[in-house]
Structure 1
Amino acid sequence: MSSNSVADLLEKLPEVSRAYLEGRAIDEVECIVADLAGIARGKAMPGGKFARQPFFYLPNSIFFQTITGDWADSVADGFTEPDMVLRPDFDTATPAPWTADTTLQVIHDINDQKGDPVPFAPRNVLKRVVDLYRARGWEPIVAPEMEFYLVAPNTDPAREIEPPMGRSGRRAAARQAYSMSAVDEYGKVIDDIYDFAEIMGLEIDGILQEGGAGQIELNLRHGDPVKLADEMFFFKRMIREAALRHDTYATFMAKPIEGEPGSAMHIHQSVVDIKTGENIFSNADGSETPEFLHFIGGMQRNLPAVVALLAPYVNSYRRYVPDFAAPINLEWGRDNRTTGLRVPVSEPSARRVENRLPGMDCNPYLGIAASLACGLVGLLEKTDPSDPFAGDAYQMQSGVPRGLGDALGLLRANTTIQQVLGEEFCRVYSAVKELEYNEFLQVISPWEREHLLLNV
């Protein structure tokens, strides 16, 4: 790599990447994007080539692929796989500190060959929703929570998932929420997560033990939705790598262990007036505004249509069961964790709505986009919410679809949400998920063999 190209590249990089590269040569750059599942797709290239190459190509079919590797080619007009143009978003450049050499990873913007954003790229879907807010003078703010499990290595899909072995020589115990000693059991993994995050410039607001055996919650600071989704995309890759260093798997499945709580991706949301910088959910005297209630009303009315994005797999719906710290309804309440929508205790300037429906298995770009889309529709249509719920909302009738097939039907039926997220995206997403669902229906489960083989 020439000295000029090195200098030009370094000038474009964020400070965290420049600090990492001080005294080092760039061995490799991972040029990546998130597919519908949130999996990193792209190309790795030598640092010198990356510095000289302003863009590269990938086929649009990466967004037609199911989690099993099949292709929903029916969504295309002739499955010709035209190339998309990927250009680096240098603001996202960050080290990949788990690699053996000096590697950067860079998220890329995705356009078609005419220069228009590819409508079914998840990051573009989120950008579209954020731009709809900004066109009305609003800036959405989010603060996501990440729940995940550390589990014992599992190479046999027929074997049940087990908690990891802790430093005491015993498997991680369940029902130890907020226990510091429980976190210490796998402290080496947590240490690597902290160390990697610091090298990558990712800020962690806190890590705690959740209620499941080996279940961790990681909180992020509030900020710009696209930036936070980028960070979650990076965090998922990094946490898996940190776990593998210690003979442990990290899983973001919504319900990996039978009888244990599921893993959520709660999203705290507020909206700021761009001109004043004030939270539009609070009046000057600290009281709640009509916009605050309309945002909640929009979520109550439209969340059923986006559950297919918040709970994208058949396993996701195993999380929606009573008394496992997961919502089964669309009620809202103040400081009430049994409701699907919770208003946390806060100062008026930090008034926000916590959406507790998303699972950690959802694509962070799509989960945040879907949640914000529901609130936006409520703001625009001035939707009134129900009365706040004060009791145990698990006693209420479920307002959440019970399976992926039902959820996809609700998405197809809500034309307003389709217009906000993009009709082309919704068409592609539905086709991919329908194919995944149909593939699952071909599988005969152990439960069926155990209870039906000789009894029916």
Structure 2
Amino acid sequence: MPPVKKDVRSKRVRAPAFVNNLRGVKNWKEVSAWLEWRGIEDIECITPDQAGVARGKMMPSSKFTSNTSLALPSAVFMTTISGRYPEDGNGFVYPEDDGDLKMVPDLSTLTVVPWEDDPTAAVICDLVHQDGRTVEFTPRNVLKNVVAAYDKLGLKPVVAPEIEFYLVHKNPDPDYPLTPPVGRSGRAIGGGAGYSIAGVNEFDELIDDIYHFSESQGLEIDTLIHEEGAGQLEINLRHGDPIELADQVFMFKRTIREAALKHDIYATFMAKPIQGQPGSAMHIHQSIIDKKTGDNIFTAEDGSETEAFFHFIGGMQQHVPNALAMLAPYVNSYRRLTPGVSAPVNNKWGYDNRTTAFRVPRSDPAARRVENRIPSSDANPYLALAASLACGLLGLTRKLEATPPVVTAANQAEIDLPRGLLEAVDLFEQDEELATILGKAFTSTFAAIKRTEFETFMEVISPWEREYLLLNV
């Protein structure tokens, strides 16, 4: 006698609505049903470290729902991108006991991992001390603290990130330069293809995978374009809550890398991966909403700009140079920030002026916003958003004045930003007002990590040195 087949369709009709959520559930009871409905076998419990790299633990779904205790060593959030640990000093002290921090899953972030062969889900976690206190120096908590500072004033920030990245040939040997990949035409991709539909079509199958992976996770892509660089693409996300958008960028980076690997190429978010090609940015559009009225505080009733609008820009102008280490966090980041290109090295602002650091795009008055064009795509999205919004908040609370808008090209003028990582870290450590908002435990930890990363970089001898110094000096 043949086995009786289950009526899957009738089961789905009777299922509660929340099991169809692509992203997030309300409570642990819903978690169990959501996982069972999808036949999920494994759970990735992840959290961003200081570099924005996913750290965490993987476990069977049955263990995840059995009230298991999750923890990570605090050292995870005190390591450099190369895995080294900074020395004590300048306010940073490495914990002698290297104790554990508790991971608390944010169930609103629960989603599938569509590139895994076995049914797998992922959830983003926050970190707390063993006694339940919030950990001040973890990136997601840093951004939460900045958003909470706005909330105390009855304000809600709204952001929309734009992320640029390159597709490149696989490069197992880091001594060799990166090169553009070959598209469906069979030819290596060239530059100068900004907004080219044909340029996007070169990677149709890969882009289809990006869209499918994103849709499966409830990630909302607004637009996708080919940028100026050879094999450089840009994804724009829909505006929304800063924490939700940082989560999306965090997940998008994983998604894009996995989609690229499926097609035997790399996706890189390095700020300047290929010499002679444009750098990759993470532009951040920002507006602030009055929570009581729901109105944009940058716009008056008659549609004109408010004092708050100019104060926000004033805060960006005064404090973003001091926060640059969070927006351009690596030695490579400063190869992108050079005079004469669209990546700004100034702290000017202007209306629809892409040569300024802070651009006010053309829009309806209700959608008035300020675009921060300084961050590079290698920045941790949580920290980049936290830094940018913290600078604007200081402008609002201190009523800082903005300079007049620039109406000509600003990228040929004087340089207003630090030209290297060490200079940026020096300014970062000196800004006490910024440290008060971001948290001194974070600022001392982050600065120590960046100084150590610079010293690690200095141990490497570059091709430039071998070419020009080997036989000439």
Scaled by the length of structure 1, the TM-score of the pair is: 0.96
Indicate the larger mover: 66-75 or 299-308: 66-75
Superposition deviation, residue 78 in structure 1: 4.3
Do residues 260 (structure 1) and 277 (structure 2) align? yes
Do residues 44 (structure 1) and 58 (structure 2) align? yes
Indicate the residue corresponding to 1:334 in structure 2: 351
Secondary structure of the residue aligned to 1:194 is: helix
- Amino acid across the alignment from 1:43: K
Do residues 138 (structure 1) and 152 (structure 2) align? no
Looking at structure 1, the residues matched to 61 and 37 of structure 2 have their Cα atoms a distance apart, in angstroms, of 15
Aligned length: 447
Unaligned runs of 5+ in 2: 1-15, 26-32
Looking at structure 2, the residues matched to 118 and 23 of structure 1 have their Cα atoms a distance apart, in angstroms, of 34
Which residue among 381, 388, 405 is the counterpart of 1:371?
A: 388
Indicate the residue corresponding to 1:430 in structure 2: 447
Indicate the residue corresponding to 1:349 in structure 2: 366
Q: Given that residues 341 and 355 in structure 2 are in contact (C-alpha distance below 8 angstroms), is that contact kept between their aligned partners in structure 1?
A: no
Secondary structure of the residue aligned to 1:99 is: coil
Superposition deviation, residue 370 in structure 1: 0.1
Which residue among 15, 18, 36 is the counterpart of 2:21?
A: 15
Looking at structure 2, the residues matched to 40 and 23 of structure 1 have their Cα atoms a distance apart, in angstroms, of 26
- Amino acid across the alignment from 1:362: A
CA, structure 1 residues 373+97, in 2 after alignment: closer, same or farther (shift >3 Å)? same
Indicate the residue corresponding to 1:246 in structure 2: 263
Looking at structure 1, the residues matched to 191 and 397 of structure 2 have their Cα atoms a distance apart, in angstroms, of 44
Q: Deviations over 1:271-300 (max 9, x none)?
A: 000000000000000000000000000000
- Amino acid across the alignment from 1:32: I
- Amino acid across the alignment from 1:44: M
RMSD of aligned alpha carbons: 1.5
Q: Deviations over 1:236-274 (max 9, x none)?
A: 001000000001100000000000000000000000000
Indicate the residue corresponding to 2:288 in structure 1: 271
Which residue among 420, 435, 450 is the counterpart of 2:467?
A: 450
Do residues 211 (structure 1) and 228 (structure 2) align? yes
Looking at structure 1, the residues matched to 100 and 36 of structure 2 have their Cα atoms a distance apart, in angstroms, of 35
Q: Given that residues 284 and 385 in structure 2 are in contact (C-alpha distance below 8 angstroms), is that contact kept between their aligned partners in structure 1?
A: yes
Superposition deviation, residue 72 in structure 1: 2.1
Looking at structure 1, the residues matched to 258 and 413 of structure 2 have their Cα atoms a distance apart, in angstroms, of 41
Do residues 221 (structure 1) and 238 (structure 2) align? yes
Secondary structure of the residue aligned to 1:104 is: strand
Looking at structure 1, the residues matched to 95 and 146 of structure 2 have their Cα atoms a distance apart, in angstroms, of 29
Secondary structure of the residue aligned to 2:159 is: strand
Q: Given that residues 64 and 73 in structure 1 are in contact (C-alpha distance below 8 angstroms), is that contact kept between their aligned partners in structure 2?
A: no
The list of structure 1 runs, each at least 4 consecutive aligned residues, that deviate by more than 4 angstroms after superposition, is 10-14, 17-23
Looking at structure 1, the residues matched to 40 and 20 of structure 2 have their Cα atoms a distance apart, in angstroms, of 15
Looking at structure 2, the residues matched to 14 and 119 of structure 1 have their Cα atoms a distance apart, in angstroms, of 35
- Amino acid across the alignment from 1:269: Q
Do residues 147 (structure 1) and 153 (structure 2) align? no
Indicate the larger mover: 160-169 or 19-28: 19-28
Which residue among 49, 54, 57 is the counterpart of 2:71?
A: 57
Which residue among 286, 301, 320 is the counterpart of 1:303?
A: 320
CA, structure 1 residues 14+62, in 2 after alignment: closer, same or farther (shift >3 Å)? farther
CA, structure 1 residues 14+64, in 2 after alignment: closer, same or farther (shift >3 Å)? farther
Superposition deviation, residue 453 in structure 1: 1.4
Q: Deviations over 1:338-380 (max 9, x none)?
A: 0010000000100000000000000000000000000000000
Superposition deviation, residue 11 in structure 1: 9.4
Looking at structure 2, the residues matched to 67 and 329 of structure 1 have their Cα atoms a distance apart, in angstroms, of 28
Q: Given that residues 254 and 359 in structure 1 are in contact (C-alpha distance below 8 angstroms), is that contact kept between their aligned partners in structure 2?
A: yes
Scaled by the length of structure 2, the TM-score of the pair is: 0.92
Superposition deviation, residue 73 in structure 1: 5.5
Looking at structure 2, the residues matched to 207 and 369 of structure 1 have their Cα atoms a distance apart, in angstroms, of 25
Unaligned runs of 5+ in 1: 1-9
Report 1:158-169 matches (<5 A): 158-169=175-186
Indicate the residue corresponding to 1:192 in structure 2: 209
Looking at structure 2, the residues matched to 116 and 105 of structure 1 have their Cα atoms a distance apart, in angstroms, of 24
Indicate the residue corresponding to 2:127 in structure 1: 110
